[in-house]
Structures are given as C-alpha cells and as structure tokens.
Amino acid sequence: MLFEVLSSAVVGGVVGFASLTVNGATNDGRKIARICANAGLHVKEGGKVKSMQLLRKSKREWGVEYAYRIPLGLSFNDYEKRLDAIQDGLNGKRYVDIKTFLQGLKTLNMRELKALLTKKKAVKKEVELAYDGVLIVKVYEQSMPDLFEYDNAILERLKGWEVPVGVTRTELIKHDFDSRNHLIVAGTSGGGKSVFLKNVITTLVARKTMDTNLFLIDLKGGLALNRFRNLEQVKGFAKNPKEAHDILTEAQEKMNERINYLLDHGYEDVIEAGFDDRYFVIIDEAADISDSKECQEIIKDIARRGRGAGFQLIYCTQYPTNETISPQVRQNCSAQVCFRLKTAIASRAVIDEDGAEKLPLIKGRAIYMTDVKTIVQTPLIDNKFIDETIKPNIIIRTRKEGEECDDNSIKGTAPRKHTLIIEEIGLS
C-alpha cells in the first residue's frame, strides 16, 4: 500500500512537471536568451555586455511566441545562423529541481498520467525565427508533419489559379499563378520535385479543365510526366533537347500571337482582356538544356514577357547553379519551391540565401520562398489518384508520320506492312 502511494506521488510529480512544460510554464524565454548569449550573440557597449531583451511572451495554440529586442550591432541574420543552437538547447535534457518536483506532486491527474504513459514519443520542440522590428521566436510543441497526402478535400480549399504548395503546422500554403505566375522548383534527386510537378498539373487539370493549356518538357526521357502526355490540355510534349526546342518555339509563337492581340485591342494583360485560359510551360530537369543558347533565349523571353500574355513558366532542376538558372529567369520568377540541396551555394542559387542544405532528410520537405520564407511539407500525390482524376481528359492522339509507338498506345497489335485501301464499287 505504501509503495503504491509513493509510486503515485512520484508519477504525479512527473506528470505535473510535464504539464508545466507543455503549458509553457517552464522558462524557455530566459533559456533562449542564455543560449544566444553563450553562442556569442552579444555586444559590448560602454564597457557593458548587452544581449537580447525579452519583451513579451504569448501563448498560442501551437506553442509559445517570444519577442525580443536585439542589441544594436546584431542583425536578424546573426540569429538565423544560430537557429540550430537554439533548437538543440531547448530540446536538451532537463533536470527537475526539488521545488518544481514538489509542486508537481500536487497536480496528480490520472487522465494526464494515462496520456503520458501511452504517448509513443516525446515532444520535440521546433523553432522558427522572424523579424518585424523585434526578433520573433516561435517555439512549437509539435513537429512538422512528415507526410501530407493529396486528396479531393484539398481541391475544395482552392480558388482561382491556386495550387497547393504544402502544409505548415497550422495552415495550408497555396501558390496563386495569377499573382505570382513564374515558379522555380529545385532539389536533389528523389526529394520531391517531380511529385510536386505532378501535383501542380493534376490540380490545374482538375480545377481549370477548360482553361488550362500545357507545354510539357520532360528531359528524363519523358518518363516522369508520361501519364499526362495524352491529356487534351497538353499542347506539346518533349522528352529530349531537340523536341524541347520545338515545343519552346511553339509556345513562344503562341505567346507572341497573344501579345499582338492585346496590343491591337489596347489591353494591358489577359486579365483586363477577360481571357480565362492560361498557358503553362513546365520544364523538368531544365539543366539538360542550360547549354542550349536557343532554348535559353526562349525561356528567358517567356519569363520576361509571359505574365501579361497569361504564360506561366515552371522551371525545375536538381542542379541549381548560376549557369543552369540564368539571372533573367531567377529575376522574373517571384516564387521558388526548394527541396533539400547538397550545399549552401546551391541554396543561394535558388532562394538567394542559405537554408535548403539544412532541411531534414524527409521526402517532400521544402522551402517556399516569396517575400517571406515558409517551411512546408509538400503534398504526396498517388499515381492511382492522378490517373482517376485525369482519366476524363485523356484523348487518343493520331501519331505523326515516323513517330514511334509509345507505351500509351494500344498493345498487342502487330505492325502492318500494307495499307488497307477501301474503294467504292458498283454492283452489277
């Protein structure tokens, strides 16, 4: 009996302290300041050492938000470089002092005890930093989701020319092609680039069936985007550099036609002209045509003049450098989706700053960069779901002379050596 009482008391203390931690009662605010000071984030002024000063602490649904005044001479970038130190410090092992332990004994709650005992893993706090005149430190009590599955419910949450970029801990992040029409997608092989492109194409076809026009350039030999090639929305499909040049030329000619129409009728852009349709030039593995001057000139032209004509460029590569992504393309793409990259140099080639090389080794984890940087878990879209969604828009195309039969053609029929000619004859 005595053993049971003592055991309950001990467990109650543990539960009580866990409750205090979850509710933000432990002083992470002061701990963050200590971590930053120990990491060298302080200055000397008038013979005194000055470090960050806590201004406010706000409890949120997702955790706790702290606001700090940073000393003159330090920048937000200085704190961003210490993000790992802040997060690791907050997740270090805690030692309970006797006073806190005794206070915890008073908060014994069997429901909390059951939840604590059945919890599969400890909560790992994650930290995000922002700056709006003061340093904002957001301490999340929940980790980012490792998986975000695409389904029909996502489609219902979109409007206009929006596509889902991914989820944070608290919201669905969307990209609107009417407000940010060009997009760079980058990341190492297997990180989620091609899956993201399939998410974009499926969303456009499902939501804007009559208004979407696609020029698809898949320089993986056509395999990554092959299931889309017979969509009625696809106006051109390329699987090698030569075909890519032909498709880009076709897209540029169509863009010029649209621009000339707008000029002749006094319109500023397709929105003012009332055009509902949009054209998307989507290039996967764009590095394979980075040394083609002809292709690059057309790509830069679409990036520079395409917006007013309703032409959107999605430029995707796993080898982002200043050579594979031209300055003109980068300058005209107002948004980037960047999966994990190997180096900080590659990260800067895409989002103009470090960070992509530090993303966790989780498929689908990416940085969505616009005016602000947002870490997201991009949608995982299943091929079966794609096929079911786009099936009503598949058409049987007539093969051009000399074009080889592909995997989407009817199988099991032997090639014909002769052409059947049917003539009308009279009956005697």
Render pLDDT for 200-232 as a digit per residue (tens, 0 to 9): 999 999 999 999 999 999 999 999 999 999 999
310, 268 contact by CB (below 8 A): no
Range in 102-116, 232-246, 361-375, 379-393 the model is least confident about = 102-116
For residue range 164-179, list pLDDT tens digits in order. Answer: 999 998 899 999 999 9
Provide mean pLDDT across the span 16-44: 75
Confidence of residue 427 (pLDDT cuts 50, 70, 90): very low
Helices 293-309 and 241-264 pack at an angle, to 10 degrees, of: 30
Span 160-166, mean pLDDT? 97
Question: Rounded distance, CA 341 to CA 349, Å?
Answer: 11
Cα(89)–Cα(92) distance, integer angstroms: 5
Q: Are 146 and 377 in contact (CB under 8 A)?
A: yes
All structural domains of the chain with their residue ranges: 2-140, 152-393
Considering only residues 26 and 353, tell me which one the structure prediction assigns the higher pLDDT: 353
User: What does the buried/exposed string (b/e) look like for 52-90 if buried means 16 or more CB atoms within 10 Å of the residue's CB?
Assistant: bebeeeeeeeebbbbbbebbeebeeeebbebeebbbebb
Residues whose CB is less than 8 angstroms from the CB of residue 141 and which lie 6 or more positions away in sequence, other chains included: 22, 62, 63, 123, 125
The pLDDT of residue 118 is above 60? no
* Fold of the domain spanning 152-393: Rossmann fold (3.40.50)
Choice between 3 and 293, residue whose per-residue pLDDT is larger: 293
Q: Which two tokens stand for residue 112?
A: 């909390």
Question: Could you give the CA distance from residue 214 to residue 312 in angstroms, rounded to a whole number?
Answer: 10
Query: Could you tell me whether strands 278-284 and 311-317 are parallel, antiparallel, or unpaired per DSSP bridges?
Result: parallel
**C-alpha torsion sign, points 384, 388, 394, 396:** positive
CA dihedral 81, 82, 86, 88 (to 10 degrees): 90
Q: Give helix 2-22 / helix 98-105 axis angle, nearest 10°.
A: 110
Residue with tokens 């079911």: 388
